[in-house]
Structure 1
Amino acid sequence: MVDAVVNVLLEKLLKALADESRILIHFRDQFEKLKNELLLMQGFLKEAERVKRKNELLRGVMVVLRELIYEAEDILADCQLQSNEDDPVSGGWLTCIYPSRLPFQYQTGKQLIEINEKISEIKRNISSYLGVSIINQPEGTIYDQMPRWSSHVYDHTQVVGLEGDTKKIKDWIFEADRGILAIGVVGMGGLGKTTIAQTIFNHREMEEHFERRMWVSVSQTFTEEEIMRSMLRNLGDASVGDDKGELLKKIKQYLLGKRYLIVMDDVWSLDVTWWDRIYEGLPKGNGSSIIITTRIEEVAQKMRVKEARVHRPKCLSTDDSWLLFRKIAFAPTGGICNYPELESVGEEIVEKCKGLPLAIKAVGGIMLCKEPKYSEWRRIAEHFSDELGESGNSVMASLQLSYDELPTYLKSCFLCLSIYPEDCIIGKDQLVHWWIGEGFFPLRNGRSAVEAAEDCFSGLTNRCLLEVVDKTYYGAMYNCKIHDMVRDLVIKIARESAFFNVDYLNCRHLGIKNSMVPKHFMDNQKLRALLSTTKTGEVNRLSPNVAKKFCESRYLRVMDLSRSIFETPLSGLLNHIGCLQHLTYLSISNTHPLVQLPASLEKLYNLQILDVSYCQNLKTLPSYIVTFKKLRVLDVSHCGSLEYLPKGLGRLSQLEVLLGFKPAKSSQIEGCRIGELRNLNALKKLGLQLSEGNEIENTEIDALVNLQELQHLSISCFDINDQDLPTKLDKLSPPRQLHELSLHFYMGKVSPTWLNPISLPMLRYLSISSGDLAQMNESFWGNDNNVWRIEGLMLENLSDLKEEWSMIQQVMPSLRILNASWCPELAAFPIDDIGFRGGVWKKEDYTSY
């Protein structure tokens, strides 16, 4: 981790020194010395990170160096705050710590000198630890080479070599006619047990065969109540406040008379009394089935699986192993290896994976992100051999190799996964915002922070370190999770790096849990990030003492309190948060009852991300929001009581994402008009909520057309009070380079005139859902010289829309994904039961119609 934290500090140091801030003038020599020492050492840090696992002395030295780097970063942050003391927004914050400028300068200078002396000593000694000399070595660079593939290129839904496994289990399921069929999938970790169960669970035949389906991930620390609540969430019931007896009764009521499928994934406990109680309460008969995946054969037996219905997956064959590897490592060319010299090395690497799919995916993901050069592939093969010799476990060796080969900035991003509990669904936005808030990755070449962070997310998914859970209709991921063996590795590294510790002590990053007590935050000045990590359907309940304590960690950069219930008035807690002036990311999404933001938050002038989405009682945003000049993301979506945003929003020149924007009406003189959006030149993603025609004046119809960075636009017309709105919306043209467009509750009978391939030549994804749309405007169909470049189309809940598949097919020759549901008037579309259920059509799955 030292190479990663050094990169972060160097990035911030270079920027601060270039900015020539007033307070840094007093310490420029010391900061310059620090920068030069770290640049000189940097070339050796990556090797030191790998070697330290075998060298206890070096491991101790790297711990000391890491702590010095964090201390220097905090000093730099304090200096930047102090340099703004004359700013009316941030003024005087440090005077509560340093009453006058002289003590601050004296203490800071003294600390920097001590840090530099200690780092210089480490630099003098590090060559002996590594057996190399630093003298006359070229300086390092703070920039890793960007990965070959920053966008998502591998389809994680592909399954190789498991066709026989899934067919065997499906045949058992279809043969069941009475009682409850229990099926066990038993085998070692990384063998693909969960993948087999997921493939069956998500298959269209299972959807048609079973009236109810439930997937339950069974963590090693589960409770019986958690299991039943998870089953009920699968059935659409939040089951808040019920005891175990009531929960089981509800489950039985939902399943009575139905044929159902239950998957209990990854069961470890040999004590299955919890299962006996649940099983006895389940309705019997109708050919229902239960699939249990486990590493322990005795578990399956105790959970009533007969020997004849235990399936033991085998390792992949040599051919299937090589095929799976190729599909990942050569994903951009469809799994075809165009480099004959790499085949023998690739086959050697695959052989070491011993047919385990997780190991093959991990090494395939490494090679996907490497240059296709023989020397590089040979180096990876030898590194893999070394790791395999150390652990003897091909899965853990491949995962350790994958971590070692990560670019330094991705190591920090990867370690963020350590704070999440087992089987937790992780939101992409939370991860991306966290990475932005802590500045884990470098920004260069004019790259936006949001785009760079999303590239980091793709970097982890391409390496198969993140698993897809939920994605959009066209394949973009927005929820993920990690395999339990990946989690074992990331927790081990995080503990060694003081990044996160399961006992919550002496670490810089924490996930919020209901079991928290004040001692977890006692004198923890190291804390950098505190995030909500509750599982789906759960909430945090925090006591007043805990809430007060974590607000005393003054170096907090990231605070996500989403889905939390506080036993103290929320306004009081927010007043404490206003003292955390290093804060860059604040989320109070889905916290209740939040009515307004207090004046104390005005001091958070370093804020880059503010998320108050799903706060239904929030009525207004304070005017000081427009003074947050560093703000990149503002999310006020799904705030039903919010009337408008404050005037002056157009001054936020760095804003990249604005969701839930409600334009002020002509009578709301303190609100932000839609015309101000034309000043947001960095805006890349915009969510508009419109309800009346007077929200768009004739002088404002060009508000969006010149936003040259805007790529994603969502327009929702829910709760319309004015029939004039469709006419006004028809004139509000988006910019030509728009990449994705969503229209929700559009009230016009005919689509907007600007929705055509000439006005939107770069559009790739189009979604239209709900509303009164009956037909497409004539301009929608283009002409012989202009057709759509759309690749993904979703039509949902459009009961009046009358169009034919042949017309769509003709005007969208690049269409590869179609998702249509509840559109009974559509004609000849290649999806079964489109008027009732709908479905997804993928071009690659069919050859003709």
Structure 2
Amino acid sequence: MCFARDEDLVGIEDNAEKLKLWLLRDLEENNKKKKATVWGMGGVGKTTLVNHVYKIVKLDFDAAAWVTVSMNYQIDDLLKKIAREFGIPFDASNMEMTNLVLAIRSYLDGKRYILVLDDMWEMNVWISIMDVFPSNCISRFIFTTRKYEVASFATEKCVIKLEPLGDNNSWKLFCMLVFRNNGDYMCPLELKDLSIKFLQKCKGLPIAIQWIARLLSYKPPTTSVWKNVHDELVLQSTKNVIPGIDVILKVSLEDLTYELKNCFLHCTIFPEDYLLKRKRLIRHWITAGFIKEVENKTLEEVAEGCLNELVNRSLLEVVKKNEFGRVKHCRMHDIVYLVALDKAKEECFGNVYKGQETFSLDSTRRLSIQSTGTKTSHESFSNSVTKYQSSATHIRAVYAFTSHVDIDMLRPVIASSHLLSTLDLEGCQIKKLPNEVFDLFNLRFLGLRYTGIEILPEAVGRLQNLEVLDALFTPLSSFPKGVGKLKRLWFLYACTLHKGPNLLWYGGIKVPRTITNLTGLHNLETIEASLETLSDVASLTVLRAFLVCNVKREHASNLCKAVKNMRHLVHLTIATSDNENQILPLEALDLPGTLSKLVLQGCLEKERMPQIISSWLQLKSLTKLSLISSKLDEVSFSSLMELRDLCYLELVQAYDGKKLYFSESSFPRLQRLGIFSATQLNQVQIEEGALENLEELRFNNCPNLECIPHGIEYLTAIEELYLENVAEELVEKLIKQESGVNEFNEELAKISHIKLIFVMSTEKKYRKRIVPLRVKELTG
């Protein structure tokens, strides 16, 4: 799902209203199932239309999910996506499909839900999964597709065929994008003829108009410059996807700088419709050498600028932003993907292996393994590598996107590819790396996240050029001494994941004394604290992120000295040992002014809270604070309200008081507030003028919270309220009107201005949305 900009929504108003009415009509009727379809050629705006409507109507349902299907779907993967998007907990590695089907059916049973299946290519997709969904529900399904056969599954008269934009809407969209810096969006007279010629090339397709318009928006608005771009369009040949569209995209690609073009083509090594994570992309780009140094900027900042540039040019679509408004996940449009994939093959940038029995490495420089196929396919692949041994030496990177990679299958590639700089095996079910890996002198990126790797041998020290070693969420318990020889290392990641009844927490990794050699490290997580280790990490003065766990009182001095030396820290996490009474040694902690995210797990010394918070007041960049097991009370919590720059505050098993009070003008910038496992909490008071920018409020596992927060009606910016595992009395007050009792409800009146309100109970497997419309009806 993409974040459609306002300017992308030209010409869809009538269809949007029609689709919205279909979805919301008859919502009160029992057992009412509807299927709506939007179909048309690629790039015509199907996803943009449905996304626009979905964001509006999903607030009227108890459960909502958006899943992109794509051409090469697998039923089990599709069901996992559906479960994940609905927020259904399941064990992806162990759960059988039968149990997953039961989990989905049980979760949706009795609910009012909506599901979007975007980009369906075959009728069999729906036929294969339709029986998964319970029939005793009010349900809405929306399909987007390029094929009429798929569109015909819709409920009678619930079909929209999207056509290309007409001349007027094409012109409006073009001008809004190209001349967005002009207050009136007017096209200069001298550019009008050329603008019309550009639009003729676009054939009314919004995606083509976006590409060419954003390309032109980066150019000086002169006739000569625009004519050069038009001449380039005329010279290009067409051979792919939609006539004319590939030409426009290729011209857009040619306009990219060398670095940007490499970053963009790199995205083709991921499978179609893959969720691209900002941090992973940035690390790949840096270690591949695509990112060049810029004065006064880190390589990460330059790389993030490249990502934003690709988004601004409509070459990547934003799927999700983080709490700071930065891109978190993005995706490549399927048409963009197909054209870019051809370009990547044409330039020998990369090639994709999907288990085919005939496969040639040729002179490709990057190999993306997206399926391993049959045993015959394995043999064919190995034979191909052996046959094209000289070609394999050109390979710079190997990426695996399937868990069933046979490590023996990769041996010939690794053994032949002495220039290999990236080996990313994230998610592969391997327990041991072949010895050939440690002969890869040029290796810069070694990705082992979510693998079964238990031990790294001393031979890892031979990887002298390694810059990223990512072993997060593996059984690895310690790094060998050889890690200290990796003096070019920037990112060192490893941790184990532990699950408790109400809490997830990370376990640390033991690091050797040779860690002192890694003076160029930017990120180090998550390490096991000891006196020696905390003394050693004091030499890592350029760290941006530092995560340490199992901190004890006797570590206080060494920890404070280490952090004092880290004057570039942006993210700091400190967790105590499992001992609940272990107090975090914070009184002497000198935090750098660059810090923006602070996570503390452990008991805070209440008497010293005013002094501790006072030392944090100079942290103007600190916008996110998470406190876990802190044992705060009414008095110590009041000290936190001095932190006026916080945008995100999370308290997890951190508050032991009965009353939570927010004074006037407290937390003026806070946007999200989460209170988890506050078992004594029974009253929340919000003074007028407090939390004036709060958008989301969550209470989870607060069993004594019997009333809606007093003063919640003052929160004019709030849009979402979540109440999970709160007191039964509160739940009954909120859902009383669902039973048909038509009377004034004081609790509902307080929250009538909130768009999205959810009440949930884990024990009773209960999840219900309180509809604001009904609230307003009851309160008159």
Change (3 A) 1:316 1:774: farther
| Structure 1 residue 610: Cα displacement | 0.8
* Letter of the 2:470 counterpart: D
Q: Match of 1:213? A: 64
Aligned counterpart for 1:808 among listed residues 666, 672, 683 = 666
CA distance in 1, matches of 2:302, 2:694: 27
CA shift, 1:330, in A, is 6.6
1:283 alignment counterpart: 134
Separation in structure 2 between the aligned mates of residue 441 and residue 276 of structure 1, nearest angstrom: 46
2:508 paired with 1:508: no
Q: Deviations over 1:8-42 (max 9, x none)?
A: xxxxxxxxxxxxxxxxxxxxxxxxxxxxxxxxxxx
Matches within 5 A, 1:164-243: 164-176=14-26, 177=29, 178-203=31-56, 205-207=57-59, 209-234=60-85, 235-238=88-91, 240=93
The answer for unaligned runs of 5 or more in structure 2 is: 353-358, 498-505, 671-689, 725-750, 757-780
The TM-score with structure 2 as length reference comes to: 0.74
Amino acid aligned to 1:634: L
Match of residue 361, structure 1, among 190, 210, 213: 210
Which residue of 417, 422, 439 maps to 2:289? 439
1:760 and 2:618 correspond: yes
Instruction: Give CA-to-partner distance per residue, 1:778-832, whole Å, 9 cap, x none.
Output: 77556xxxx9556x43446566583437423657799967443227768534425
- Evaluate the alpha carbon distance shift between residue 356 and residue 796 of structure 1 in structure 2; reply closer, same or farther with a 3 A threshold: farther
Aligned length: 656
Q: Quick one: structure 1 residues 422 and 474, their matched pair in 2 at CA, closer, same or farther if it must change by over 3 Å?
A: same
Q: Return the alpha-carbon distance in structure 2 between the equivalents of residues 280 and 465 of structure 1.
A: 37
Partner of 2:728: none
> Which of 491-500 and 637-646 deviates more?
637-646
1:709 aligned onto 2:546: no
Matched residue SS, 1:220: coil
Deviation at 1:607, TM superposition (A): 0.6
**Structure 1 residue 424, shift from structure 2 partner:** 1.7
- Report the identity percentage: 23
SS of 1:660's equivalent in the other structure is strand
Q: How far apart, in 2, do the equivalents of 1:836 and 1:744 lie?
A: 24
Contact (CA 8 Å) 1:645, 1:663: kept in 2 or not? Answer: no
* Equivalent residue letter for 1:554: H
Q: Is the 8 A contact 1:794 1:818 kept in 2?
A: no
Deviation, 1:422, is 1.8
**Closer/same/farther in 2, CA of residues 273 and 296 from structure 1, 3 Å limit:** closer
1:606 aligns with 2:465: yes
Distance 1:840 1:580 in 2: 55
Q: Cα distance, 1:663 vs. partner? A: 3.0
Amino acid of the residue matched to residue 666 of structure 2?
I
* Contact 2:696 2:719 (C-alpha < 8 Å) held by counterparts: no
SS in structure 2 at match of 1:266: strand
Matched, 1:693 2:561: no
Aligned to 2:666, the other structure's residue is in SS state helix
Verify the 8 A CA contact 2:476 2:494 in the aligned structure 1. no
Q: Where does 1:79-158 land on structure 2 (aligned, <5 Å)?
A: none
Per the alignment, in what secondary structure is the counterpart of residue 694 of structure 1? Answer: helix
Residues 625-646 of structure 1: per-residue CA shift (max 9 Å, x gap): 2221111111124465544322
Cα distance in 1 for partners of 2:34, 2:199 equals 37
Is structure 2 residue 406 aligned with structure 1 residue 550? no
Question: Is 1:734 aligned to 2:568, yes or no?
Answer: no
TM alignment of 1:287-302, pairs within 5 A: 287-301=138-152
For 1:752 and 1:395, the matched residues in 2 are separated by 62
In structure 2, the partner of 1:663 is 529
> 1-side partners of 2:184 and 2:651: how far apart?
37
Relative to structure 1, is the Cα distance of residues 620 and 477 closer, same or farther in structure 2, using a 3 angstrom cutoff?
A: same
2:410 counterpart of 1:529: no
Q: What is the distance in 2 between the residues matched to 1:713 and 1:560?
A: 25
CA apart distance, 1:352: 4.8
Matched, 1:499 2:343: no
| Corresponding letter in the other structure for 2:397 | A
**Partner residue, 1:257:** 110
| Alpha-carbon distance between aligned partners in 1 of 2:415 and 2:711, rounded to the nearest angstrom | 59
Give the deviation of 1:239 after TM superposition.
5.3
1:117 is matched with none
Deviation at 1:609, TM superposition (A): 0.9
Tell me which of the two structures has the higher relative contact order, counting C-alpha pairs closer than 8 angstroms and 6 or more residues apart: 1
Contact 2:427 2:451 in 1 (8 A): yes
1:677 offset after TM fit, Å?
4.2
Quote the offset at 1:429 in angstroms.
2.5
Listed one character per residue, the Cα deviations across residues 736-760 of structure 1 (whole Å, up to 9, x for unaligned) are 233x213254533766745569743
Specify the alignment match of 2:428 in structure 1: 564
Q: Work out whether 1:458 is the aligned partner of 2:314.
A: no
Residue among 644, 655, 661 paired with 2:510: 644
Q: Which aligned pairs between 1:294-443 and structure 2 lie closer than 5 A?
A: 294-301=145-152, 304-316=153-165, 344=192, 348=196, 349=198, 352-370=201-219, 375-384=224-233, 387=236, 393=243, 395-443=245-293
| Partner residue, 2:519 | 653
Using the TM superposition, name which of 174-183 and 675-684 deviates more: 675-684
- CA distance in 2 between counterparts of 1:840 and 1:771 reads 31
Deviations 1:355-410 (A, max 9, x none): 43322332344345445666545543554455598988454333212211110111
Spell out, residue by residue over 1:197-231, the C-alpha distance to the aligned partner (whole angstroms, 9 max, x if none): 2333344x414x33333333222122334333333
Change (3 A) 1:659 1:717: same
Aligned-pair distance for 1:662? 3.6
Structure 1 residues 709 and 340: alpha-carbon distance in aligned structure 2, compared to 1, 3 A threshold:
farther
1:684 aligns with 2:535: no
Change (3 A) 1:553 1:471: same
SS in 2 for 1:396: helix
Change (3 A) 1:167 1:706: farther
CA contact (8 A) 2:34 2:139 kept: yes
Counterpart CA distance in 2 for 1:355 and 1:826 is 53
- The structure-2 alpha-carbon separation of the partners of 1:337 and 1:345, relative to structure 1 and needing over 3 Å to count, comes to farther
Does the 8 Å CA contact 2:541/2:566 hold for their aligned counterparts? yes
**1:174 CA drift (Å):** 1.6
Cα separation, partners in 2 of 1:794 and 1:811, compared to 1, 3 Å: closer
CA contact 2:668–2:691 (8 Å) conserved in 1: no
In the alignment, the residues of structure 1 paired with residue 489 and residue 77 of structure 2 have an alpha-carbon distance, to the nearest angstrom, of 39
Q: Distance in 1 between matches of 2:225 and 2:211?
A: 17
Within the candidate set 318, 336, 339, 1:489 is matched to 339
What SS class does the counterpart of residue 729 from structure 1 fall into? coil
Q: 1:390 to 1:499 in 2, by over 3 A?
A: closer
- Say which structure is richer in strand: 2
SS in structure 2 opposite 1:475?
coil
Aligned to 2:687: none
Gaps of 5+ in 1: 1-153, 842-849
Partner of 2:319: 469
| Local SS of the residue matching 2:308 | helix
Asked if 1:836 is matched to 2:723, the reply is yes
SS at match of 1:261: strand
- 8 Å Cα contact 2:177-2:214 kept in structure 1: yes
Look up the match of 1:822. Answer: 699
Mean Cα deviation higher: 499-508 or 482-491: 499-508
- Name the CA distance, whole Å, in 2 between partners of 1:179 and 1:155: 30
Per-residue CA shift, 1:486-511, capped at 9, x if unaligned? 11111111111112233452222112
C-alpha displacement of 1:719: 5.2
